[in-house]
Amino acid sequence: MHNIWLIAKREYTERIKTKAFLIATILIPTLMGGGFFAVVSMAARTKTTSHIAVIAAQQQPAADLKQELENGKDSKMTVDILPASTPHAVLDREIAGKSLDGYLVITPATEEGARPTFDFTPKSSADIATSTAIQEALHTVLTREYLGEKGVSVSQTASLMSPVTLNIIGKHGEHGNSRTSFLVAYVLFFLMYMVVLLYGMNVARSIIEEKTSRVFEVLLATIKPDELLAGKILGVGAVGLTQVGIWMVVAGLLAARVGSASGIEISMTQIIFFIVYFVLGYALYSSVAAALGAMTNSEQELQQLNMFLMMPLFFCMLMLFPVINSPNSLLSRVVSQIPFCSPLLMDLRISISMPQPWEIALSIGLILVTIYAVLWVSSRIYRVGILMYGKKPNLPEILRWLKYS
Amino acid sequence: MAIVELNKIRKVYDTKVAVEGLSLTIEPGTMFGLLGPNGSGKTSSIRMMIGMTVPDSGTVSLFGKPFDRASLHRIGYLPEERGLYKKMKVLDQLVFLGQLHGLSESTARSRALVWCERIQITEAIEKKTEELSKGMQQKIQFIASLLHEPELIIMDEPFSGLDPVNAELLQNTLIELRRAGKTVLFSTHRMDQVEKMCDSIGLISRGKLVMTGAMREVKSRYPRNRVQVVFSGDESFLGHEEVAEAKNYAGIAEIKLHHEAGAQMVLAAAIARGTVISRFEVKEPTLEEIFIEQVRASFGDEEARGIIDA
Nearest CA in chain A to B74: A222
Write the residue in A215, A223, A387 that is nearest to B83 by C-beta: A215
* A215–B53 CB contact, under 8 Å: no
Phi, psi (rounded to 5 degrees) for B5 = -140, 110
* A220–B87 CB contact, under 8 Å: no
Write the residue in B13, B83, B87 that is nearest to A218 by C-beta: B83
SS3 A285: helix
Report the pLDDT value the prediction gives residue B95, as an integer from 0 to 100.
93
Distance from CA of A400 to the nearest CA of B (A): 10
Report the pLDDT value the prediction gives residue A167, as an integer from 0 to 100.
66
What residues of chain A lie within 8 A of the CB of B50, using their CB? 221
Q: Report which of residues B282 and B307 the model is more confident about.
A: B282
* A222–B100 CB contact, under 8 Å: yes
Greatest Cα-to-Cα distance within chain B, rounded to the nearest angstrom: 76
Instruction: Tell me the per-residue pLDDT of B52-90, one tens digit each, with 9 for 90 and over.
Output: 878 888 888 899 888 888 888 889 999 888 888 888 899
Q: Quick one: average pLDDT of B153-170?
A: 89
Q: Quick one: average pLDDT of B129-142?
A: 89
Mutate to test the interface with A, among B96, B104, B138 (most CBs of A within 10 A): B96
Mutate to test the interface with B, among A9, A222, A380, A384 (most CBs of B within 10 A): A222
* B47–A224 CB contact, under 8 Å: no
The DSSP line for A67-135 is HHHHHSSSB--EEEEEETTS-HHHHHHHHHTTS-SEEEEEE--SSTTPPPEEEEEES-TT-HHHHHHHH
* B77–A210 CB contact, under 8 Å: no
Q: Report which of residues B89 and A59 the model is more confident about.
A: B89
Check if the beta carbon of residue B291 is closer than 8 Å to that of residue B35.
yes
Nearest CA in chain A to B89: A14
**With pLDDT > 90 as the criterion, what percentage of chain A qualifies?**
2
Report the pLDDT value the prediction gives residue B239, as an integer from 0 to 100.
81
Distance from CA of B47 to the nearest CA of A (A): 9
pLDDT band at A175 (very low <50, low <70, confident <90, very high): very low
Distance from CA of B82 to the nearest CA of A (A): 6
Distances (CA, A) of A115 to A62, A143, A161: 13, 11, 20
pTM over 0.90: no
Distance from CA of A19 to the nearest CA of B (A): 12
Q: Is it the case that residue B103 has pLDDT exceeding 70?
A: yes
Instruction: Tell me the per-residue pLDDT of A234-257, one tens digit each, with 9 for 90 and over.
Output: 898 888 888 888 887 887 777 666
pLDDT band at B11 (very low <50, low <70, confident <90, very high): confident
> What burial class does residue B44 get, using C-beta atoms within 10 Å of its C-beta: 0-12 exposed, 13-18 middle, 19+ buried?
buried
CA–CA distance, B29 with B148 (Å, rounded to integer): 17
Nearest CA in chain A to B82: A214
Instruction: Tell me the per-residue pLDDT of A315-347, one tens digit each, with 9 for 90 and over.
Output: 888 888 888 778 788 888 888 888 888 888 888
Instruction: Tell me the per-residue pLDDT of A41-51, one tens digit each, with 9 for 90 and over.
Output: 776 666 667 78
Distance from CA of B123 to the nearest CA of A (A): 22
Q: How many CB atoms lie within 10 A of CB A290?
A: 28
Classify strands B208-214 and B200-205 as parallel, antiparallel or unpaired: antiparallel
> What burial class does residue A369 get, using C-beta atoms within 10 Å of its C-beta: 0-12 exposed, 13-18 middle, 19+ buried?
exposed
Q: Is it the case that residue A404 has pLDDT exceeding 60?
A: no
Instruction: Tell me the per-residue pLDDT of B252-268, one tens digit each, with 9 for 90 and over.
Output: 888 888 887 888 888 88
Report the pLDDT value the prediction gives residue B174, as an integer from 0 to 100.
92
What residues of chain A lie within 8 A of the CB of B49, using their CB? none
What residues of chain A lie within 8 A of the CB of B101, using their CB? 222
Phi, psi (rounded to 5 degrees) for B221 = -75, -15
SS3 A223: coil
Q: Report which of residues A368 and A188 the model is more confident about.
A: A368
Nearest CA in chain A to B76: A221
* B81–A214 CB contact, under 8 Å: yes
Q: Quick one: average pLDDT of B110-136?
A: 89
The DSSP line for chain B is --SEEEEEEEEEETTEEEEEEEEEEE-TT-EEEEE--TTSSHHHHHHHHTTSS--SEEEEEETTEE--GGGGGGEEEE-SS----TTSBHHHHHHHHHHHTT--HHHHHHHHHHHHHHTT-GGGTTSBGGGS-HHHHHHHHHHHTTTT--SEEEEESTTTT--HHHHHHHHHHHHHHHHTT-EEEEEES-HHHHHHH-SEEEEEETTEEEEEEEHHHHHHTS---EEEEEEES--GGGG-TTEEEEEEETTEEEEEESSTTHHHHHHHHHHHTTPEEEEEEEEPPPHHHHHHHHHHHHH-HHHHHHH---
What residues of chain A lie within 8 A of the CB of B53, using their CB? 387
Complex ipTM value: 0.73
What residues of chain B lie within 8 A of the CB of A387, using their CB? 47, 52-53
Q: How does the average pLDDT of chain A come out, rounded?
A: 78
At a CB cut-off of 8 Å and minimum separation 6, what does A78 contact? A49, A50, A51, A52, A70
Amino acid at the residue B94 = L
CA–CA distance, B169 with B167 (Å, rounded to integer): 5
Amino acid at the residue A77 = M
Write the residue in A18, A213, A218 that is nearest to B97 by C-beta: A218
Q: Is it the case that residue A189 has pLDDT exceeding 60?
A: yes
CA–CA distance, B130 with B87 (Å, rounded to integer): 6
Nearest CA in chain A to B141: A218
Instruction: Tell me the per-residue pLDDT of B207-218, one tens digit each, with 9 for 90 and over.
Output: 888 888 888 888
* A213–B85 CB contact, under 8 Å: yes
Q: Report which of residues B150 and A269 the model is more confident about.
A: B150
